[in-house]
């Protein structure tokens, strides 16, 4: 007869021996397992891809503060805190973090405690003998359970790394959304300021055209002029009002766009009109080397490629056997009074082995699906790099074009200012009646309007360039386009 006090170690060894044999036999037949995938080569942009730069520098994280406009700073900061779009991306970050916690909870050991109490009447005609048969008893159990999934092939580890990669991608996308929002607020704000300046110029233009009408009417009254030019001058005097109405309509539209971006509940009661700052942006000399680390969308795409690679590794690990260890220890008794007695003790140990022998192509299909996700992620990464190069070049060319216009407009403004000074001297000397002064002022005001528009275009291009360069985003941990493959 077997000894009731047999060594438990011998029992466990007897259970593990056939399991170990099964594992070894399965591994020996694993020659047909899919080979490991090579990490894709992510291409970084080359020097020749970019428009020649100047002595520019990278944008800082709070780049809008460099315009030295407290009103703009308040608008951008409020938008970043209160915009619904930022609330959406923050919710996505929390969603990704929750996925990380869920996957992390599936790794490592699990310990749980269970306790139950049951009041039951036992049948007198069942397999229970008297005195249990026909009686009503209170039974109970208390147990401590333990389980551990032996992650021999790294499936759980790869799933966790994939979830962490997607969480990092969500954070990078949030940085990109913040950069886009701050750029949109700043661009809309400067457009609004530009229209304020242009409306003031239209008031001055209207005054000068009215002055020409007055001078011509005086000439007609005194018989110096026949009055043929009076009607055209009156028509010209009405045009600035029409232009002013159009500009005011555009300004009001921009005001409410800005209010929507910032949030109505946090928008200041009044916005003050003021002059535009000088655009002074440019391309950094080391742009191709650092672009990927400063573009949040490229960083997010790269993180998703890395996560997809980890999914492939996890799908490949599913081809291998999975060993799970579980054990329990506790007390079970048909009487609560004897529940915690030593002879009510119960315990067990269960090693479980899963061998994927016949799966009807399910594992292969899962692996192929993960590989397709990698191909998609790589394509999206390449697309994000291409978009980055295009946006940087487009903004840089616009900025340089606006800066090149400045020289021509400055020359014209200087010449017209001299003409106006000369005309004013002739009027003071009695050699002219003021019409030439009004015309020169109109020419000068028209050039001022063009210069104001040019300044706004330059600022818009600078903001676009800041956004194209990542809006001050820094990802020092991923400064190149290389990927790790474990």
Please give the average per-residue pLDDT across 242-253, as a whole number.
95
**Residue 145 counted as domain residue:** no
Core vs surface per residue 137-152: b (16+ CB within 10 A) or e: bebbbbbeeeeebebe
**Residue 352 counted as domain residue:** no
Task: Tell me how many domains the chain contains.
Answer: 1
pLDDT at 203 (0 to 100)? 94
Please tell me the distance from the alpha carbon of residue 174 to that of residue 85, in angstroms, as a whole number: 10
Residue 188 belongs to domain spanning: 41-107+153-321+365-478
**Residue 2 counted as domain residue:** no
Please tell me the distance from the alpha carbon of residue 37 to that of residue 113, in angstroms, as a whole number: 42
Average pLDDT, the chain: 81
**Residue 342 counted as domain residue:** no
Predicted TM-score (pTM) of this structure: 0.76
Check which CATH number belongs to the domain holding 51 and give it. Answer: 1.20.1600.10
**Residue 182 counted as domain residue:** yes
The model's confidence at residue 20, banded by pLDDT at 50, 70 and 90, is low
Say if residue 479's pLDDT is above 60. Answer: no
Say if residue 23's pLDDT is above 60. Answer: no
**Residue 134 counted as domain residue:** no
Q: Are 166 and 304 in contact (CB under 8 A)?
A: yes
The model's confidence at residue 283, banded by pLDDT at 50, 70 and 90, is low
Phi/psi region, residue 154 (left: phi>0; alpha: psi -120 to 50; beta: rest), is left
Please give the average per-residue pLDDT across 429-444, as a whole number.
87
Say if residue 266's pLDDT is above 50. Answer: yes
- Which of 114-123, 124-133, 229-238, 288-297 has the lowest average pLDDT? 288-297
Core vs surface per residue 309-323: b (16+ CB within 10 A) or e: bbbbbbbbbbbbbbb
Fill in the DSSP letter of residue 151.
-
Please give the average per-residue pLDDT across 142-156, as a whole number.
79
Name the range with the highest mean pLDDT among 31-35, 56-60, 261-265, 302-306. Answer: 302-306
């Amino acid at each position: 007869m077997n000894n009731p006090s047999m060594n438990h170690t011998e029992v466990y060894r007897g259970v593990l021996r056939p399991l170990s044999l099964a594992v070894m036999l399965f591994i020996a037949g694993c020659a047909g397992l899919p080979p490991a995938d090579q990490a894709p080569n992510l291409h970084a942009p080359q020097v020749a891809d970019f428009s020649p730069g100047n002595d520019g520098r990278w944008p800082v994280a709070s780049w809008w503060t460099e315009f030295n406009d407290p009103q703009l700073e308040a608008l951008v900061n409020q938008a970043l805190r209160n915009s619904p779009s930022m609330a959406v991306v923050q919710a996505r970050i929390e969603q990704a973090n929750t996925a990380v916690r869920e996957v992390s909870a599936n790794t490592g050991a699990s310990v749980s405690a269970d306790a139950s109490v049951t009041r039951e009447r036992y049948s007198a005609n069942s397999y229970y003998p008297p005195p249990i048969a026909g009686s009503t008893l209170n039974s109970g159990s208390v147990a401590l359970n333990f389980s551990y999934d032996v992650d021999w092939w790294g499936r759980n580890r790869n799933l966790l790394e994939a979830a962490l990669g997607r969480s990092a991608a969500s954070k990078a996308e949030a940085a990109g959304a913040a950069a886009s929002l701050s750029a949109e607020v700043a661009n809309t704000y400067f457009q609004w300021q530009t229209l304020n300046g242009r409306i003031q110029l239209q008031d001055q233009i209207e005054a000068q055209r009215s002055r020409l009408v007055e001078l011509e009417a005086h000439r007609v009254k005194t018989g110096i002029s026949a009055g043929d030019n009076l009607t055209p001058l009156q028509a010209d005097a009405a045009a600035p009002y029409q232009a002013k109405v159009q500009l005011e309509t555009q300004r009001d539209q921009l005001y409410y766009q800005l209010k929507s971006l910032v949030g109505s509940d946090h928008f200041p009661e009044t916005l003050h009109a003021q002059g535009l700052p000088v655009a002074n942006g440019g391309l950094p000399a080391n742009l191709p080397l650092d672009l990927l680390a400063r573009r949040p969308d490229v960083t997010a795409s790269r993180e998703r490629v890395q996560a997809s690679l980890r999914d492939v590794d996890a799908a490949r690990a599913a081809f291998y056997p999975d060993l799970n260890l579980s054990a329990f220890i506790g007390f079970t008794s048909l009487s609560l009074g004897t529940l915690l007695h030593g002879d009510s003790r119960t315990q067990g140990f269960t090693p479980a082995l899963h061998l994927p022998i016949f799966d009807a192509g399910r594992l292969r299909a899962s692996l192929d699906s993960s590989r397709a996700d990698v191909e998609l992620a790589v394509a999206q990464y390449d697309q994000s790099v291409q978009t980055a190069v295009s946006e940087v070049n487009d903004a840089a060319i616009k900025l340089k074009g606006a800066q090149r216009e400045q020289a021509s407009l400055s020359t014209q403004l200087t010449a017209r200012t001299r003409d106006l000074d000369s005309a004013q001297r002739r009027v003071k000397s009695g050699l002219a009646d003021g019409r030439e002064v009004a015309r020169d002022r109109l020419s000068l005001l028209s050039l001022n309007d063009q210069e104001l528009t040019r300044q706004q275009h330059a600022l818009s291009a600078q903001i676009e360039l800041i956004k194209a360069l990542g809006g001050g985003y820094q990802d020092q941990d991923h400064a190149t386009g290389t990927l790790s493959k474990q």
